[in-house]
Structure 1
Amino acid sequence: MEITRKNFAEELENITNNLKRSCFVGFDAEFTALLSGECFKYRLFDTNEQRYDKIKDEVSKMIISQVGLTMFQYDRNKNDYNAVGYTFHLCPQVLGDIDQSFIFQASTLKFLCKHNFNFNKFIYEGIPYLSKVEEDEIVQQIKNNNLTSYLTSALEIEEEKELQYYSNKVSEWLHSSEDGTMYIDVQNPIQRYLIHTELRQRFPNILTTDSLGNSNKILIYRDKSIEGANSAKMETLEKNLIDKLLGFSNIIQLLVQYKKPIIGHNIFMDLLLLHNQFIGPLPKKYSIFKMNINNLFPVIYDTKYISHEMGKKLTLDEVWQSNILQDLHEFFAKGKYKKLQNGINFITLIPPFNEKQSYHEAGWDSYCSGFCFIRLGQWAACDNMGVYRPVGPREKMAALAPYCNKVNVIRGATPYMCLDENDPPTHRPNLLHIKSLKERIMNIDKVACAVAGCGAADVRALGRRTALVAAGTHFTADKILKKFKDSREYRVSTYKPYGQSAARRLAIWSGALITGSLLLMLLHKRVKS
C-alpha cells in the first residue's frame, strides 16, 4: 500500500498493529542520488572505517525519498507467513531554520524514471519527518517558551497574509454574527498552531480547540458561556504539532520501540542514510555510528551477506546467476533450489500491499528481502536438522544467528561490517608491491590495465615509480606474481611495509646520513688532536 501525506494519519493505527503482530520486518530505502563519483568507488584497499570516512560527508547531501516496510506475520496454524507491505513517500519540510538541501543527480532522475518513480508523490504528497536532533531542538523551543517566534521567523509573506486573513475573519464573525461557534479549515499544521496562538492573543475571550471530527479544522467558541465550550491546553496543541511534524519519524520510533528484527539487502548505505535522516548527522567516528545503529536496532540481517556466505554451499548447477536482490528473489520464487521444494513455508502477500511489482520500488524490494530471508533461514535450519520441512521464525533466526548484525561490504578489505562487535580482520591476500623498471614516473592506469586480466584488483600509487596492488583473492594475487615474474617493465613482490614504504626508506637513509655525519665528526676531532 502506498502511504503519503494524505492517508498517513488514518493508516497509522493499522501500520502500528501490523508491526506489533510481525515477527520481523523487511526494509528498503530509495535515495535521491546514485553512488557515483570518486568517493563512492569501492576499493579493495578500504577498511570499513576508511570507507565510512570517505563517504559520510557526501551521504549528508542525499536523502531517502522512499521507504519500504513489509511486516511478515507468522500463522502458527498453517505454518505459513502473511506479508503486509507499505511504500512510504517522504519529502523534507521547512521548519524555522530547518531547511534541508540535498542533491538530485541527473543520472538518478534517469534511473528513477526508468523504474516509474512518481515525482509528484515525492514533492506534493511526501510525508514530512524530523531527525531526533531536530525534534530535540523543537522541544527545547517549547521549554524556552519561544516556539511561536521560532516558527514565525521563517514565515513567507503569503503565510503571514494568511494569519492576518483568519484574524480578520474571526474579528468580523465576533462583530457581525451571533453564532456561538466558528470553524476554520487549515491544512498546514504549523499554520494551524500559529493561528491558535494568534487568535488567543488578539481575542482573549474566545476559546479554540482542534475539531475532533477533522484534525485540519480549528473550532472556535465565542466565549466560555457556550455549551460544551473548551479550550485546548497549549501542551496539547504543542503535542499535536510535534506529532504532525514528526510524520514518518513516528514509524522509526515504532521500529525502535518494538525492536523487531530488520531485514534488508545490501543495506550499508541504507543505514548511513537512516542515521543521517532520522537520528542526526553522521558522527565523526565510525565506531559511534555503529553503536548508535545497534542501540536503536539491535537485530539486523543483511540477505546480501547471508546469501554470499550460504551460496558457497551450492553446487555449480544450483548456483544463482548473482545475489543481487532481483536474481536472488527469482531464484527462490521459481523454485530453483530443489531441496526447498519439500515442505516450504508459503508466503502470502495480502492487502494492504497493492503496489505494482517493480524492483527498485521500496515496498516491493522490502518484501523481496524478507522473502529471501525466509527461504535462506529455512535452508539453514533444515541443513542443521538434516531434514527439509516447514520451520517457524524462531528456528530460522537461530539457524541464521551467525549472520546477525553482519552487513555486507562491497569490494572492501573486510567482508562485512559488524554492528555489535569489532569488525573482522581483512580476508584479502597481502598487498603486492610493484616497481617500474623503465618509467621515471609510473603510469597507474597502465598498471591497472596490466593487472586487470588476472582478476579483481586495485592499484594505488606509493611513490613516483612504485605502487601497491590489492588483489581480490589469493588466486588473483598468485596470478599477478606469475605474470610479472620475468617482466622487464615491472618488478612485483609481496609488499613489506617496513622495507618498501617511502617513509621507511626515508627513515633508513636519514638515520644512515646522521650516523655517517657523527662518525665523520669524531674522526675529524681525532685527526686534529
Structure 2
Amino acid sequence: MEVISSNLNEAIDILKSIINKAAFVALDGEFTGINSDESRAFDMFESPAQRYQKISKIVQNFLMIQCGLCVFVPNEDKKSFTAFPFSFYIFPQDDNSGPNKNGFSCQISSIKFLSQHKFNFNKVFNDGMPYLNSIVEAECRMKIEEKMKSMWEKEDEKYNRAKENKYPYQLSFKIADSDQQFVKDMIQLIDEWLSDNSKKILQFPSCSGYHRKIIYELLYARCTDKNMLPETVREESGIYILAKKLDEKEKAQAAEEKFKTQLSKLDDAVGFCKVIDILRKANVPVVGHNMLHDILHLVHQFIAPLPNDYYEFKEIVNTAFPNLYDTKLMATTEPIKTYFADSSLAAAEKRSQKEPFQNVSIEFCKEIDCKDFHEHYHDAGYDAYICGTVFARMLYYYDTLTEDENGCCNLQSEVLQPFNGKIKMHRMLDIPYLNLSGDDVRPSREHVFVMRFKEPWPLSKIADYFSAFGGAKPMPVPMDETSFYIILLNEKESVNVSNKLVGEFQDFTLQKFESDRLEKTSSAAKRKADSIVNSPTGQIPAKKEKSESTVQRFSQNLQNGETI
C-alpha cells in the first residue's frame, strides 16, 4: 500500500487493527544520501562509539524520504504468514521545526540510483507526509498554549499601538501617493461595515502582503471599541483578510475555536510519527537488513535528535525498540553463514528459497492494494517485505535446529536470542556488530601494530619485513598516506615483534596499536589544553550547567504516554 498525506489515516487504521497480531514487522528506508567525507574516514579499528559519531553526522545531513513497513501476521497453522506491506512517502512540510529545519543534503549517486529504479520523487515532494517527533511536538504545543493565553492581550496591544501611530490615517508608515486611493477605499469599506449592525463579517479583496498590512492597521485604528477580530485566509484564488465583529462571549468562542484549529494542524503535522508511535507501543520485534542507517534515521527524524553520546543513543533505541533483528548479521554469522556467499538482500532472498531453508508460505493480505507490489526492489515497502520473508525462512531453519514445536515464528528460541539488539557493522575488522542491548565486543588487538613511514614503502616490502614472524597483513590507515596497520597472521608472535621491532628506526616508526591510540588521545588532549592556555583570557571556559538530556526527555514522554 502506497501511503501519502491524503491516505495516512486509512493506513493508520489498518495498522492499528493488525499490529497486535503481528509476529514481527520488517523495516526498510530510502534516503537522499548515505555517504559523505565522514565515510572516507571510517577506521577498521575504531570503537563502536567512534563509528557512531561519524555515522550520526552523516545521517543528520540526509533524509529518509520513504519508509517501508511490512507487518507479518502468523496464520492459524503457525507455519505461514499474511503480509501487510506499506510504503510511506515522507517529506518535512515546515521549514521552522524538526531536526531538518535548516535543510538537508542530496547525494548525486543516491538520487540517480533511486531514479534508475523508478522512484517517484513527485510523490515525496508533493504528497509526502510531514513528521514532528514527540519533543518538537511538545514544544509546539507549549507555544500554541502560550499564544492562546495571551491572544486578547496582544489584540489590545495592536489597538493601543494604532492610537500612537503618527502618520496619516493612523498608520505606522508613510503611504506612497500611488496607494492613497487604496487607503481611502479601504477606510470607506471599514466605516460602512462598522456602522451597519446587521453585517457581522467583512471580506476584503485579495491583495498583496503590503496592502494587507495597510488593511490590518486601518482596522485597528478605526475599530475603537475593540470588538473586531481579523484573520488572513489563504485559498487557491488568492490571499485575503476576513474581519468579524465579536461580543465578549463570541471572543471566548473564537479563541477556543482558534486553539482547536491550531491543535488540529499540529496533529496533522505529527504525521508519520504516529506510525512510529503505534510500532513502539506494540512492542513487536522489528527486523531489518543491514539496518544501522535505518535505525539512526528512524530515531533522528521521528523520535528525538541523535544525541552526541553513543550510550545515550543506545538507551533511546532500547526504550523505543527493545527487540531488533538484522538479517544481514544473521546471514554472516554461524550457523548459517556458510549458506550465504552473498549476503545482499536480493541474494539472501534467492538463497533462502533453497535447502536447508523452508520456503515458508507468505501471502499478501486482501485488505490493502498489493497488485503492483512485485519485483520492485528499492521501493522501501517491497524491500521490507523481502527482508521479512528472509527472516521468516531463517526462523523456520532455527526452529528445526532446536526441534521447536511452536511453529515458524518462535522468536524466543535460544539460538535466535544472541541476535536480539545487534546490528551489522561494516568496514570493522574485528567488531561485527553494534550491540544496542548490552556491552559491545572488545577484542584483543595485541597482534596489531601501527607502522609510520618517512618515505612510502611498497606493500610487498612491508609484508616481507614481518616474514620472520609468521607474516603480516598491512592495511592503510584512513586519511593517512604514510601509515599502515600491521596485522600479524600468527598472533602468538606479537610478543616477539613487541620486543624486537617496536621503536623508532631510520625509515619508520613501529608502535603497538594500543600505544598509538593512547598517544593520539594524549596529543588531542594537549592540543585542547594549549588552546585554553593560549586563549585571550588564559582561563578554562566556565562549565555549562548540564541541561536535560535527550534520552531523559524522551523517556519522560514515554512514561507520560505521549506520542512519538
After superposition, residues 118-517 of structure 1 pair within 5 angstroms as: 118-145=120-147, 233=257, 236-310=260-334, 314=338, 319-332=339-352, 335-336=353-354, 338-341=355-358, 345-351=360-366, 352=368, 353-354=370-371, 355-385=373-403, 391-394=407-410, 397-412=413-428, 413-426=430-443, 430-434=447-451, 436=453, 441-443=454-456, 446-447=458-459, 458-460=475-477, 467-469=483-485, 471=487, 474=489, 495=512, 497-498=514-515
Deviation at 1:460, TM superposition (A): 2.2
Deviation at 1:137, TM superposition (A): 1.5
Hey, what does 1:199 align to over in structure 2?
none
Does residue 52 (structure 1) correspond to residue 70 (structure 2)? The answer is no
Alpha-carbon distance between aligned partners in 1 of 2:138 and 2:363, rounded to the nearest angstrom = 40
Alpha-carbon distance between aligned partners in 2 of 1:500 and 1:16, rounded to the nearest angstrom = 50
Question: Is the CA contact (8 Å cut-off) linking 2:89 and 2:129 kept in structure 1?
Answer: yes
Deviation at 1:84, TM superposition (A): 0.7
Does residue 105 (structure 1) correspond to residue 107 (structure 2)? The answer is yes
Question: Is the CA contact (8 Å cut-off) linking 2:22 and 2:71 kept in structure 1?
Answer: yes
Alpha-carbon distance change, 147 to 430 in structure 1, aligned in 2, over 3 angstroms: farther
Alpha-carbon distance between aligned partners in 2 of 1:250 and 1:305, rounded to the nearest angstrom = 29
Question: Is the CA contact (8 Å cut-off) linking 2:129 and 2:271 kept in structure 1?
Answer: yes
Give the gaps of 5 or more residues in structure 1: 150-167, 181-201, 207-220, 225-229, 507-529
Hey, what does 2:13 align to over in structure 1?
13
1:48-105 per-residue CA deviation (whole Å, 9 max, x = no partner) reads 1111122322321111010000000011246311111010011111154553400012
Q: Secondary structure at the match of 2:13?
A: helix
Deviation at 1:8, TM superposition (A): 1.4
**Number of matched pairs:** 424
Deviation at 1:339, TM superposition (A): 2.8
Deviation at 1:222, TM superposition (A): 12
Question: Is the CA contact (8 Å cut-off) linking 2:130 and 2:271 kept in structure 1?
Answer: yes
Deviation at 1:364, TM superposition (A): 0.9
Deviation at 1:34, TM superposition (A): 3.0
Deviation at 1:35, TM superposition (A): 1.9
- Give 1:126's aligned amino acid: G
Q: Secondary structure at the match of 1:394?
A: coil
Q: Secondary structure at the match of 1:260?
A: coil
Does residue 68 (structure 1) correspond to residue 84 (structure 2)? The answer is no
The answer to which of 120-129 and 395-404 deviates more is 395-404
Deviation at 1:11, TM superposition (A): 2.8
Deviation at 1:489, TM superposition (A): 11
Q: Secondary structure at the match of 1:144?
A: helix
Question: Is the CA contact (8 Å cut-off) linking 2:422 and 2:436 kept in structure 1?
Answer: yes
Hey, what does 2:166 align to over in structure 1?
none
Alpha-carbon distance between aligned partners in 1 of 2:513 and 2:11, rounded to the nearest angstrom = 61
Give the gaps of 5 or more residues in structure 2: 152-188, 202-225, 231-243, 248-252, 464-470, 524-564
Alpha-carbon distance between aligned partners in 1 of 2:521 and 2:94, rounded to the nearest angstrom = 54
1:412-459 per-residue CA deviation (whole Å, 9 max, x = no partner) reads 1411111121111127773134365xxxx2338x559977xx998632
TM-score (structure 2 length as normaliser) = 0.64
Alpha-carbon distance change, 142 to 503 in structure 1, aligned in 2, over 3 angstroms: closer
Question: Is the CA contact (8 Å cut-off) linking 2:25 and 2:388 kept in structure 1?
Answer: yes
Deviation at 1:301, TM superposition (A): 0.5
Alpha-carbon distance change, 369 to 492 in structure 1, aligned in 2, over 3 angstroms: farther
Deviation at 1:43, TM superposition (A): 2.7
Alpha-carbon distance change, 398 to 25 in structure 1, aligned in 2, over 3 angstroms: farther
Alpha-carbon distance between aligned partners in 2 of 1:312 and 1:133, rounded to the nearest angstrom = 41
Alpha-carbon distance between aligned partners in 1 of 2:40 and 2:149, rounded to the nearest angstrom = 40
Hey, what does 1:165 align to over in structure 2?
none
The answer to which of 132-141 and 262-271 deviates more is 132-141
Question: Is the CA contact (8 Å cut-off) linking 1:377 and 1:396 kept in structure 2?
Answer: no
Alpha-carbon distance change, 477 to 22 in structure 1, aligned in 2, over 3 angstroms: farther
Alpha-carbon distance change, 503 to 415 in structure 1, aligned in 2, over 3 angstroms: closer
Question: Is the CA contact (8 Å cut-off) linking 1:27 and 1:263 kept in structure 2?
Answer: yes
Q: Secondary structure at the match of 2:92?
A: coil
- Give 2:110's aligned amino acid: T
Alpha-carbon distance change, 475 to 105 in structure 1, aligned in 2, over 3 angstroms: farther
Alpha-carbon distance between aligned partners in 2 of 1:9 and 1:499, rounded to the nearest angstrom = 56
- Give 1:265's aligned amino acid: H
Question: Is the CA contact (8 Å cut-off) linking 1:44 and 1:457 kept in structure 2?
Answer: no
Q: Secondary structure at the match of 2:314?
A: helix
The answer to which of 488-497 and 230-239 deviates more is 488-497
Alpha-carbon distance between aligned partners in 1 of 2:343 and 2:130, rounded to the nearest angstrom = 34
Deviation at 1:321, TM superposition (A): 3.4
Alpha-carbon distance change, 414 to 243 in structure 1, aligned in 2, over 3 angstroms: same
- Give 1:364's aligned amino acid: Y
Question: Is the CA contact (8 Å cut-off) linking 1:455 and 1:476 kept in structure 2?
Answer: no
- Give 1:106's aligned amino acid: I
- Give 1:378's aligned amino acid: Y
Alpha-carbon distance between aligned partners in 1 of 2:357 and 2:480, rounded to the nearest angstrom = 54
- CA RMSD, 1 decimal: 4.6
1:266-292 per-residue CA deviation (whole Å, 9 max, x = no partner) reads 111111111211122211110001110
Alpha-carbon distance between aligned partners in 2 of 1:419 and 1:254, rounded to the nearest angstrom = 21
Alpha-carbon distance between aligned partners in 1 of 2:60 and 2:432, rounded to the nearest angstrom = 25
- Give 2:349's aligned amino acid: H
1:176-205 per-residue CA deviation (whole Å, 9 max, x = no partner) reads 999x9xxxxxxxxxxxxxxxxxxxxx9979
